[in-house]
């Protein structure tokens, strides 16, 4: 199964795995799952790190991807066009892009964010 990691989940899995639920940890550690991270999440990390809101730099992000065996899922025009039909249930622009991408790709998202569960058809793991 493909599994899209929310930005926080990548950071927690790399630096504070105790913050993950057992269900999320099991899904991440399952060797049969293909772990993915949206390219949008890398932008979010870079922007928040530059603003001093996050202490997780490029080297830490690269290391997390490598250590966890996560591949980066490119953000495409199809994903962006899916935003036009996305109801405004979540105000965070990064999360909205991740939600649109997950719906477009039909893959579940590992996320602690309860607002993700407001989107019909979106599967979440937490």
Tell me the domain boundaries of the chain. Answer: 2-125
Give the percent of the chain with pLDDT over 70. Answer: 100
Q: Classify strands 2-5 and 34-38 as parallel, antiparallel or unpaired.
A: parallel
CATH class of 2-125: alpha beta
Beta strands in the chain (DSSP E): 2-5, 34-38, 71-73, 109-110, 124-125
pTM score: 0.95
Q: What is the pLDDT of residue 125?
A: 98
The mean pLDDT value for 47-66 works out to 97
């Amino acid at each position: 199964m493909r599994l899209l990691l929310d930005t926080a989940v990548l950071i927690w899995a790399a630096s504070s795995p105790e913050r993950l639920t057992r269900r999320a940890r099991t899904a991440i550690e399952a060797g049969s799952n293909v772990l993915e991270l949206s390219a949008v999440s890398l932008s979010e990390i870079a922007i928040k790190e530059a603003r001093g809101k996050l202490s997780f730099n490029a080297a830490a992000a690269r290391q997390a991807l490598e250590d966890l065996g996560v591949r980066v899922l490119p953000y495409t025009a199809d994903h962006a066009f899916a935003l036009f039909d996305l109801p405004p249930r979540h105000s965070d622009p990064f999360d909205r892009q991740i939600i649109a991408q997950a719906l477009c790709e039909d893959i579940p998202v590992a996320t602690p964010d309860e607002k993700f569960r407001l989107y019909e058809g979106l599967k979440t793991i937490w």
